[in-house]
Structure 1
């Protein structure tokens, strides 16, 4: 066989979402019976298989909070300083908890002005007052609002504070706050040292968001994107984040993999490797390091231009199938995250059918209220600004903020665009979940694992779905 001609004759079909359709099968499953729970990584379970992408027009703290409350998880982008990223992760972890451990406090000698500034900066309505580690009072937003800014905290704080001991149950804490008509309940030890804080808001939210993705302390889970070469940032984030996601375009690189091996020895949280797109990449990673997940797909994103600019890529369905085969054949327990080009529940169903445990989405969540992108009115419709992390604007910001992210390539591999405004995350997640459950029902699968076994796919042709030509469809 001629060597170079064989590269064509033996080439694989790089199948994309538009090439495939999920076939119906014998089913006894109603959509209402489908269980979409899955893993984002080895140690993190979710009620829905949705992850928001670490892009600076998609996932900051507000998006991550909404994603976790809706049963998924958000990955905070790294296109910012280390301090900014750490603060965004902390904001998610403080958003809800039965007992807040990372309590923001104030000294009794501080001024009312300083107390007001701390409350505003951290978006909180009260502060325990601590002196030498011991609780001496509490000051609320109402105290601050009506006091002279030059006064000391000790002059206006409440000194007779109702407290709880370690080990208190949620029902007991709720009853105690109701009986004393208080919204904040400090937790102290036998010597009066502050150990945590319970808020009535957090207890109420626990009931409202029953499917939320939480850690063992009841806090919302959140992930953070990292460079494999920024060990300092990774170690700092590993102290507070539940999940670290290696955020490079091409993980199957000797330099990247060697840096990741060193990083894995320094952190003690789940680390997801990616992006990758081939069977060989998965084999090399699984056989050489203990990662908690694989982020799969190269060049398929809606605002990614890698395939056009370089002629290189691995479309998400093709890449997921390749990696899933490698994971299965090696007997590995490594969840796969399908990342790139997902436009709706149909693409999600195909990704899961091909072996993914979850999907990462930028395009869909960029259009939500909680994304940091700018809201724009064009004509009679609303849009939000969205950009690829390889776009010129994103690259310029990254070069200014993160010396570990100096691009090795001299050209952009992404664009800026406007995506349709979709509303709030919880509504989008509900719509996707409803449609996805219907797809599972057609396929006869009651869970993602069962879909892996039962799903059958077919190739589409240009005439697979032709509507009548005389239809007028209102827009």
Structure 2
């Protein structure tokens, strides 16, 4: 049955669903949440929790990446952020957190105009590596050719190439061409790439040899990409489409498994649960972790899009803090709105649905209930 609908006589489009539009259906069998296994492994690296911190200055510093790693998750440091531009960026992070919304963009553009320093890339990666946790760091496609050698020599273990949209071949008239297939083939570390929003784009990215594909483009609370560029990813449909691309790529490649990682719009535990139900292997979290006491943004949250030199498509938002990072991940919870104990919520949802492992939970039944959006706005 076709999902296309007629928008007008000259245009048709697919009906797509966001995570608000779906709900998980409990099964006849339930499990004990204590028996649920949330572990996740990509390449040679195993994690007790399937949570990846988004490479955003308001979320990750070297210290918080280490803390998250010790708690069982994976922190990803933004190598185009303030930690690679300034020896001590904390005063500037504190200043940004105090800026009002009207003046924040212009001031952030000034702060982020400081050049990236290769020696600071090396120092930050070494700091995380010396702590004994898995080292992951991110660059945009436009900066990858410039800095990848420094990153690899410093000892990164998982390389993330993250942008609004990422294709198998990034072409720039001024900075050369990033051919991901060639780049990944020649690199000696696993690479996670994204964002991708469609079956075809994801399939092409999987064929480059990527270990994981990011679904979405970090379009959460701080993003205005929909308003400025007209681009939006209805996440439930996007994850399901790319889950199908992974299935087909496994048949094509003779069994090679590429991880599907949901990235964006996962600000509460219910959305995180539904991302796994739609086919994600792991989730990349920004807003959810920016609320931790240890987050560098001190309860403020922003992404790289908020200080883009020519086309800002995000803004600084005030989230507040809800507790220490460990409490955000493991509880105990003290509110009923899905901000604290996100691992506990995932365990309980899986147990209520009768599943003990994440890959099994991808088969859970869901229903479509788009009227939930109307109730939220009422």
Q: 1:421 and 2:345 equivalent?
A: no
The match for 2:139 is: 226
In the alignment, which of 28, 36, 42 is matched to residue 38 of structure 2?
A: 36
Q: Contact 2:272–2:346 (CA<8 Å) still a contact in 1?
A: yes
Per-residue displacement from partner, 1:354-379 (whole Å, max 9, x unpaired)? 11110001111112122211x3xxxx
CA offsets, 1:276-301, max 9 Å, x none?
110010122223x1111101113631
- RMSD, matched Cα: 2.6
Tell me if the contact between 2:218 and 2:263 (Cα under 8 Å) persists in the aligned partners. Answer: no
Cα drift, residue 451 of structure 1 = 0.5
Q: Aligned-pair distance for 1:460?
A: 1.8
Give a deviation string over 1:208-263, Cα, whole Å, max 9, x none.
xxxxxxxxxxx211200023343352122223111010022110263258432343
Q: Which residue of 1 aligns with 2:16?
A: 14
Report the Cα distance in structure 2 between the residues aligned to 1:245 and 1:85, rounded to whole angstroms.
14
What SS does the corresponding residue of 1:255 show, helix, strand or coil? strand
8 Å contact from structure 2 (residues 26, 352) kept in 1: yes
- Please state whether the residue corresponding to 2:242 is helix, strand or coil: helix
Is contact 2:266-2:285 (8 Å) kept?
yes
CA distance in 1, matches of 2:267, 2:196: 20
Counterpart for residue 274 of structure 2? 350
User: Which SS does the other structure have where 1:224 is aligned?
Assistant: strand
**Which residue in 2 is equivalent to 1:433?**
343
How far apart are the structure 2 equivalents of 1:52 and 1:2? Answer: 37
Structure (1 or 2) with the larger CA radius of gyration: 1
| Matching residue within 191, 202, 205 for 1:282 | 202
Retained in 1: the 8 A contact 2:20–2:372? no
**1:291 aligned residue:** 210
Shift of 1:426: 1.3
Q: CA contact under 8 A between 1:299 and 1:307: conserved in structure 2?
A: no
Give the match for residue 92 of structure 1: 128
- Note the 1:67-86 alignment, pairs <5 A: 67-78=68-79, 79=81, 80=84, 81=116, 82-86=118-122
Query: In structure 2, the residue corresponding to 1:327 is in which secondary structure?
Result: helix
* Cα deviation, residue 442, structure 1: 1.5
Unaligned runs of 5+ in 2: 85-115, 172-176, 251-255, 331-340
Give 1:240-389 correspondences, 5 Å limit. 240-252=155-167, 254-255=169-170, 258-287=178-207, 289-298=208-217, 300-331=219-250, 332-373=256-297, 375=298, 384-389=299-304
Superposed CA deviations along residues 384-408 of structure 1, whole A, max 9, x for unmatched, are 221121013xx35xxxxxxxxxxxx
> Which residue is 1:183 aligned to?
none
> Residues 338 and 7 of structure 1: is their aligned pair in 2 closer, same or farther, counting only changes over 3 Å?
farther
Contact 1:31 1:441 (8 Å CA) reproduced:
yes
The superposition leaves residues 382-437 of structure 1 with CA deviations (integer Å, 9 ceiling, x where unpaired) of xx221121013xx35xxxxxxxxxxxxx3211111111202221111101111111
Gaps of 5+ in 1: 96-218, 376-383, 397-409, 470-475
In the alignment, the residues of structure 1 paired with residue 368 and residue 6 of structure 2 have an alpha-carbon distance, to the nearest angstrom, of 29
Task: Give the TM-score, by structure 1 length.
Answer: 0.62
Q: Distance in 1 between matches of 2:218 and 2:39?
A: 28
Alpha-carbon contact 2:159-2:190 (below 8 Å) kept: yes
